[in-house]
Amino acid sequence: MKRLPILLLVLFVLAGCGKTVVSTDLIRKNFIEEVASYHPGTAGSSLKQATAASNVLRFATEQKMRNADCKTAMEKAWKETDAKTQEYFRENYEGLSWLITTAFSDYDSVGNMFEDAGVAERMKAALGEADAEKDWATLRSAAEDVLSGS
C-alpha cells in the first residue's frame, strides 16, 4: 500500500515531463527576433524566410510549451521588444506562418524554398517531430494573440 502514493507521485512527475516553461528571452531571441531578421522584397529574402521558418519550427518542437506559459512569455517578450523589431515581426509574420503551416499540409509545394536555402533536412526533421503541428499551433496562437492586441 505504501507503493501506491510513490507510484502516483512518479506518474504525476512523468506526466509533466516534456513540457517546459519557456523564458521570455528564449521567445524573444528564437521567435520574435528570428521572424524579424529578414526583410521581404530584398535580395535573398525568400531564402532567409525559409531559414527562419525552419529555425522557428525547430524552436517550437524543442520547447514543447504549454499554451498558457507560451502566451505569458510571448506577451512579456513582446512588451520588452523594441518598436523596430516589432514592426519587422508584424511585416514578416504572416508569410512565415503561412510557410510553416503549408509545409505541414503540402510540403511538396514549398519544399524547394527550404532546399534552396539549404535547410530542407532541418525542416523535414522538425516537421517529423512528435506533436510538431501542436507545438507550432501553440506558438502561432500566442503570436496571433499578441498581434491582435497590439
Q: Which pLDDT score, from 0 to 100, does residue 7 have?
A: 43
pLDDT at 3: 58
pTM summary value: 0.83
Distance CA 18, CA 14 (A): 8
State the number of CA atoms in the 13 A half-sphere of 117 facing the CB: 23
pLDDT tens digits along 109-138: 999 999 999 999 999 999 999 999 999 999
pLDDT, position 47 = 94
Residue 40's pLDDT is what? 72
Q: Are 103 and 123 in contact (CB under 8 A)?
A: yes
Low-confidence ranges of the chain (pLDDT < 50): 4-5, 7-20
Nearest to 28, CA basis, from 5, 62, 56, 57 = 56
Q: What is the pLDDT of residue 8?
A: 42
Cell of residue 60, nine digits: 517550437
First and final C-alpha spacing in the chain: 55
Neighbours of 117 (CB within 10 A): 20
pLDDT at 45: 86
Per-residue pLDDT at 50: 97
Spacing of C-alpha 18 from chain mean position: 16
Domain residue ranges of the chain, discontinuous segments joined by +: 20-149
Q: Contact at 8 Å (CB) between 91 and 45?
A: no
Distance of alpha carbon 59 from alpha carbon 45, whole angstroms? 21
Q: Are 127 and 136 spatial neighbours (Cβ–Cβ below 8 Å)?
A: no
pLDDT at 73: 94
